[in-house]
Structure 1
Amino acid sequence: MSSQATETETEQANDELPLDLSVLIPVYNEVQNVEPLHQELQQVLGSLSLRYELIFVDDGSSDGSRAKLGLIQDRDPEHVRVVFLRRNCGQTAALSAALDLARGNILIPMDGDLQNDPADIPRLLEKLDEGFDVVSGWRKSRQDAFISRKIPSWVANRLVARLSGVPLHDFGCTMKAYRRRVLEGVRLYGEMHRFIPVFATWQGARVTELEVHHRARTAGRTKYGLGRTFNVVLDLILIIFYQRYAQRPIHLFGRIGLWSLALSFLTFAGMLYFKYLHAPLTGDKAKSFIETPLPLLVVFFFMMGVQSILMGVLAEMVMRTYYESQSKTTYLIGEIRQSPPGNST
């Protein structure tokens, strides 16, 4: 029994050893694509002198992808790990699951539909070796429908680059290369996997871009549509809030509240003017309070101002609880230089 326990402990220790590379592949109804994708990855990564793993995350597929991935893992247990989610949770959630399980020092997510080219992986790694922390793929020659895919993507990318200050051309390209330290502690929600380079830049990471091949889909159906563009815009609003006001939400809600209170007092002054001063000055009939919508506007702006300020106070309490409960700091240290103890004079 002790021998078996020792072997088990050894296997667990080996599982904890870091690998050089983890390729993260969310899959949803791609039964025709996962097999050739695995073969291409084997050919490309097998030629590199790297210890690697392929993490396929089946996002609640209903077309046989689950069974196909199980067969792939049986044939290549050394490199393939498969995660089966209980239901369809979305690409970001599937990618987050892969990130939590990855053991590689370098992480490369990619789509499971064969539109990303595994042959680009060595080029991404070479770019990382130039001293970058994130290499973002750019599908410059994108093989997708022009109206339903290219135009919304172009608009969304320009908007994200402008508002975030990160000058990338293609935030939506799943194929990127990250150093593990950049993603430590990252939690993804909504459609925010596309904004990881933005988060990394805010953390002081060196981010660059590399043109990658993009292939036309040959099997299966696309899961993206025009509606996803609106989700991107909403998520962008959220990350801009994180960037500017996550540590001081009262500054945002407080300003909204103060402006609302100011409008309330101005509207109240206008209400008094039409009641008492308008007639003597113009000769017209005085207007009763109920003849104009001003009293309603006074109440509306006043209540909005009070609620906004109270919301800012609550947000401050939540923010402080978030940082203090997890011992998080509001600063990021890059390097400390000091003399060794005992060398001071």
Structure 2
Amino acid sequence: MSTPNLSIVIPVYNEEATLATLFARLYPALDALGESYEVVFVNDGSRDRSAAILREQFEARPDVTRVILFGANAGQHMAIMAGFEHCRGEIIVTLDADLQNPPEEIGKLVAKMREGHDYVGSIRRKRQDSLFRTWASKAMNRLREKITRIKITDQGNMLRAYSRSVVNAINSCKEVATFIPALAYTFARSPAEVVVEHEERAAGESKYSLYSLIRLNFDLMTGFSLVPLQWFSMLGIFVSLGSAALFVLLIARRLIVGPEAEGLFTLFALMFFLIGLALFGIGLLGEYIGRIYQQVRHRPRYLVEAILERDTEQSS
């Protein structure tokens, strides 16, 4: 098999309801580009019939279809990492299987890459998500940009294009927890963004719960910046200075006015605030230590059960 110009990497997790529609739209959209391509599906330990459907699609289009089957769920970003390590294209595009990003929009990213960019992100024109999720995403985007200095307008959108050099740099990293768009941004010399359409989910439910989204943002901020620790250190300094000033004030008041019996609940409130602050700091420190703990164990990031692809020697 010759090296294709374009690789499409699609992580799949419990998407049996959308795969048939995805196939019907994806392949014609890629054929229309006039580029040699391959589609790399990564089944991330799905518990439904997704793996069987992907096997059937490989048998139907073995010339341009490859399937990586995980033995267990490893998460969306690890599935994309596996796709990056096995894809062969010069331009690599990531796409979710839920059809919220139309496959027909891939051409916009490819055209932008042809202008000389090595990383192209996408911005959803009109998000088809709930108001709370849209607002929360925008708020986290602003906070993340201040902390990490990584400028990604729409961090939740996985429709993105990467050059081979950027993907090779990503593959050289051995992190067990990362955020691929942000990691790519740190390696890109000429990043760009394009506006794309966004549709409602074709079927099923989002695989990201509120807890998963919070965890993802913790990984993003602690994985690319020490600013949270630095901010907390500064806050600790200010609280210590404030506590010292309050202590001096109370001693002076006691000497001048005398002891007071009131203010007990104010003291409790101040104490609970400081205890909460300390617990938050311990939790933040634990995030960084937890990342170190995961890294030093050297466990495999994902387990590949099988790879379905055409024999390159027979096809050449």
Distance across 1 between alignment mates of 2:224 and 2:41:
31
Tell me, yes or no, if structure 1 residue 221 matches structure 2 residue 202: no
The answer to whether 1:112 aligns with 2:97 is: yes
The alignment-based identity, stated in percent, is: 30
Distance 1:20 1:161 in 2: 32
Q: Aligned letter for 2:96?
A: D
Moved over 4 A (4+): 281-285
Tell me the distance in 2 between the aligned counterparts of 1:172 and 1:238: 17
Q: Deviations over 1:113-164 (max 9, x none)?
A: 11111111111111111221111111121112x2342222222222223333
The structure 2 residue matched to 1:121, chosen from 87, 106, 115, is: 106
**Partners of 2:213 and 2:17 in 1: how far apart?**
27
Counterpart in 2 of 1:66? 51
Q: C-alpha distance in 2, partners of 1:151/1:92?
A: 23
- Paired position in structure 1 for 2:183: 199
The CA deviation string for residues 230-270 of structure 1, in whole angstroms up to 9 with x for no partner, is: 2233123313426x79xxx9xx69x78x969x97xx79x97
TM-score by length of 1: 0.65
Q: Tell me the secondary structure at the aligned position of residue 19 of structure 1.
A: coil
Name 1:99's counterpart in structure 2.
Answer: 84
**C-alpha distance in structure 2 between counterparts of 1:114 and 1:284, whole Å:** 71
**Any gaps of 5 or more consecutive residues in structure 2?**
260-277, 297-316
Q: 1:90 aligns with which of 72, 75, 81?
A: 75
**TM-score relative to the length of structure 2:** 0.70
Please list every run of 5 or more consecutive structure 1 residues that lacks an aligned counterpart in the other structure.
Answer: 1-13, 286-303, 323-345
* In structure 1, C-alpha distance between the alignment counterparts of 2:73 and 2:210, rounded to whole Å: 20
1:57 maps to what in 2?
Answer: 42
Contact 2:166 2:188 in 1 (8 A): no
Are the aligned partners of 1:191 and 1:231 in contact in 2 as well (CA < 8 Å)?
no
Which of the pair has more CA radius of gyration?
1
CA distance in 2, matches of 1:117, 1:125: 14
8 Å CA contact retained: 2:41, 2:67: yes
- 1:22-61 matches, cutoff 5 A: 22-61=7-46
User: In the alignment, is residue 168 of structure 1 matched against residue 152 of structure 2?
Assistant: yes
**Number of residue pairs matched by the alignment:** 270
Deviation at 1:190, TM superposition (A): 3.8
2:5 is paired with a residue whose SS is strand
**Structure 1 residues 233 and 61, CA gap change in structure 2 (3 angstroms):** closer
Q: How far apart, CA to CA, are the structure 1 residues paired with 2:114 and 2:165? A: 15
Point out which structure has higher relative CO (alpha carbons under 8 A, 6+ apart): 2
Q: Structure 2: which amino acid aligns with 1:226?
A: L
Determine the C-alpha separation between the residues in 1 that align with 2:188 and 2:60.
41
Kept after mapping to 2: 8 A contact 1:182/1:205: no
Contact residue 53 and residue 79 of structure 1 kept, 8 A: yes
Q: What are the within-5 Å matches in structure 2 for residues 241-280 of structure 1?
A: 241=225
Q: How does 1:135-214 map to 2 (within 5 A)?
A: 135-144=120-129, 146-186=130-170, 187=173, 189-190=176-177, 192-193=179-180, 196=181, 198-214=182-198
Shift in CA distance, 200/93, structure 1 to aligned 2, threshold 3 Å: closer
